[in-house]
A and B are shown apart, each in its own frame.
Chain A
Amino acid sequence: MNPADQYNPDPAMDGFTCKQLIERLAEFIDAELAPSINSADRRAFDNHLAQCQSCVNYLETYLHTIQLSRAAFQSSQPAQLPPELFAAIESVIRATPR
């Protein structure tokens, strides 16, 4: 199937094009930013997703990207500092005037 066939045939019929939706994606998924979105924009966003599988896929893969970047650092904390670093920090502390 031609990839273009997956698209919404009229990207602007619901108010948002794929470009508008993707450019504003972060606003819609970030809890910190989402409350500032008005109901008309929210409706346009939801309507577009209901008709455009390519944008649904973009949204999902964007969320997977955030999830994977978090997972990549989950087990990265060392149990303790390398001894030479610990010793260097101790020297700095001793040298700090009080």
Chain B
Amino acid sequence: MNAPTTPDTQQLDRVRAGDHAACASLVSDCGPRMLAVARRMLANEEDAQDAVQDAFASAFKALPQFDGRAALPTWLHRILINTCLMKLRTRRRRPERSIETLLPTFVEDGHQTRSTNSWPAARVESMAAPEHAAHIRAAIDELPDTYRVVLILRDIEELSTSEAAQALSISQAAVKVRLHRARQALRTLLEPLIQPMEQS
């Protein structure tokens, strides 16, 4: 029995047949989200646009092998993530700061070396507003790529641990460790934005 025809399968059939309008519509529908993802991953506009173009090129070449088990936008998202990761591996690495100084420290008996203060709720709410997004993104961009990419894949793109591990060709345990360290380091970087004055 044939699978039921849905708007998605109709679009896929038209794209596969080389229908120009269907292809353009797919690019219009999925392109903006893909560009947003590439900007997050690569933190560079030129690289991001290149990645989106390369991802569409790979996708259209691979269309005959696309089995339709995933939705077309999901499949494109995966291709884009892989394209971005390839770009990150090949582009000249930015000098990476050590993450160690951003992690919490402990004294011998297991106490924190320095106690942690709470963040005022009103200040957190204010920093979550769109006008402060650039500050938060700048802090994320300060993370070494090794950690920044895991944070983007897991916390922003919402890949599972297993999906992130597969995309990065690392173990799931390594994803968990890197994610935790990335969040801890980012917490340290955000602290001065939330609490400009040290509480005494």
Interface residues of B in 113-146 (CB under 8 A from A): 114-119, 124, 127-130, 132-134, 136-137, 140
A73 touches B137 (CB 8 A): yes
B88 at interface, CB cutoff 8 A: no
Segment from B55-63, B67-75, B91-99 that makes contact with A:
B55-63
Residues of A within 8 A of B161 (CB): 32-33
**Closest residue to B185 on the A side, CB-wise?**
A65
With A69-B155, A76-B133, A92-B53 in contact, is A81–B27 under 8 Å at CB? yes
If over half of B's interface residues share one DSSP class (helix, strand or loop), that class is named, otherwise mixed; here it is helix
A85 touches B52 (CB 8 A): yes
The 0/1 profile, CB within 8 Å of B marked 1, for residues 25-39 of chain A is 111000011000000
A69 touches B186 (CB 8 A): yes
If over half of A's interface residues share one DSSP class (helix, strand or loop), that class is named, otherwise mixed; here it is helix
B28 touches A80 (CB 8 A): yes
The 0/1 profile, CB within 8 Å of A marked 1, for residues 103-119 of chain B is 01010011110111111
- 9 nearest A-B residue pairs (beta carbon): A17-B110, A72-B136, A3-B115, A71-B128, A26-B180, A54-B115, A77-B36, A19-B106, A57-B116
**A-B CB contact pairs (8 Å), 12 listed:** A7-B111, A19-B106, A26-B183, A64-B119, A64-B190, A68-B124, A69-B136, A72-B140, A76-B40, A78-B35, A80-B32, A86-B28
